Structure 1
Amino acid sequence: MATDRDQLLQSAADFLGRRPNATLDEIAAAVGVSRATLHRYFAGKPALMAALDELAIAEMRAAIDSARLQEESAADALRRLVSACRPVAPYLCLLYSQSQELDADESMQGWAETDAAITALFERGQRAGEFRPDLSAAWLTEALYSLVAGAGWVIQVGRVAERDFDHMITELLLNGARS
């Protein structure tokens, strides 16, 4: 049974990742609390989604910090970042599918620091000749988010193995789909 706020958020994210249109009653039942308990933490589904967005932002910031984006080559830093993003994948997957539940302006502000750090990594790689200069760093940043969310989804539904997370994303980003 989920009892503290972070446990509730993690359990809710896991359940909503599989059932994004669930009601608060269904979410409460799935995480093992009463609707009143869930409501005590989150006034409604929009508040729950905003809290999940905040948690995803905090976890992405931690991933960026642990990836040491300024060390070694940009490609090596990207590999570390992808690996550090694995725990955030379920949240990104959920947030992509439920973005209509969020205040877009507030969410964008929250993600601005994370976006800037990842965009700077791609720009550094482009200046060093490691990454393609014909694709904007902003696009590469969004592609990274999309690939992390997509990998989270296909792992969650059992279409690929979790152990392939890092390889799938880094290989596609660094080498494309060509053989």
Structure 2
Amino acid sequence: MPLDRDGLLRAAADFLGRRPNATQDEIATAVGVSRATLHRHFSGKPALMQALDELAIDEMWKALKTARLDEDSATDALRRLITAFQRVSPYLALLYSQSQEIDIDQSMHGWAAIDAEITVLFTRGQRAGEFRPDLTATWLTEALYSLVAGAGWSIQVGRVAGRDFERIITELLLHGVSTS
């Protein structure tokens, strides 16, 4: 069955998640299309990466909506958000490793509103005494992204089981690495 643009994009993302430095020819072969077909949809790897960035932004908005950040405690909302982020974690892992391939100004604009939503959640949790006040909500947002991307990468390469995604991120984010 031929892939539509969205299917082609998702297949390319899956392959690039395992082989981030792949060429257009390698990507086309891996997803089962000709280089010409891939080029018709994405004029080059920068265009493909830009499309992946846009896909990740769309998926992040879906995750934010699913997580219902303004309901219940900030901790409960964060847990729902982490669960919802599992679907987008491979894209974040890929974008972290390939950020030089995208238009940073355009990308940052797309992510700004998402960042703001998550930062509001951390600020709410800090004000309620659920989260540490000595770390900025902006830093906690960045740390969350890094943990999601890292877990996504670890799952892709088989270092971590996918079923552990939420637990490992939540435990590390909420409790750190200290045993005391």
**Structure 1 and Structure 2 fold alike (TM over 0.5):** yes
Q: Return the alpha-carbon distance in structure 2 between the equivalents of residues 114 and 76 of structure 1.
A: 19
Q: Does 1:126 align with 2:126?
A: yes
- Aligned partner of 2:99 in structure 1 is 99
Cα displacement (A) at 1:2: 5.2
Q: Number of aligned residue pairs: give it.
A: 179
Q: In the TM superposition, what whole-angstrom CA distance separates every residue of 1:62-110 from its partner, at most 9, and x where no partner exists?
A: 0000000000000000000000000100000000000000111000000
Change (3 A) 1:2 1:99: farther
Corresponding residue number in structure 2 for 1:25: 25
Cα distance between partner residues in 2 of 1:140 and 1:98: 22
Distance in 1 of aligned mates of 2:137 and 2:94: 24
Structure 2: where are the runs of 5+ without partners?
A: none
Q: Which runs of 4+ in 1 moved over 4 A?
A: none
Letter in 2 for 1:135: L
Mapped partners of 2:2, 2:12: distance in 1? 9
Correspondence 1:59-98 to 2 at 5 A: 59-98=59-98
Uncovered stretches (5+) of structure 1, i.e. residues with no partner: none
1:111 partnered with 2:111? yes
Structure 2 Cα separation of the partners of residues 2 and 27 of structure 1? 15
Secondary structure at 1:177 match in 2: coil
Note closer, same or farther for the CA distance 1:55–1:2 as it changes in structure 2 (3 Å cut).
farther
> Hey, what's the Cα distance between the residues in 1 that align with 2:46 and 2:157?
25
Match of 1:122, as an amino acid? Answer: F
Deviation at 1:21, TM superposition (A): 0.6
In the alignment, the residues of structure 1 paired with residue 31 and residue 72 of structure 2 have an alpha-carbon distance, to the nearest angstrom, of 42
Alpha-carbon distance in 2 for matches of 1:10, 1:146? 21
CA distance in 2, matches of 1:177, 1:75: 18
What one-letter code is carried by the residue in structure 1 that aligns with 2:4? D
Task: Indicate the RMSD between aligned Cα atoms, in angstroms.
Answer: 0.7
Deviation at 1:178, TM superposition (A): 1.2
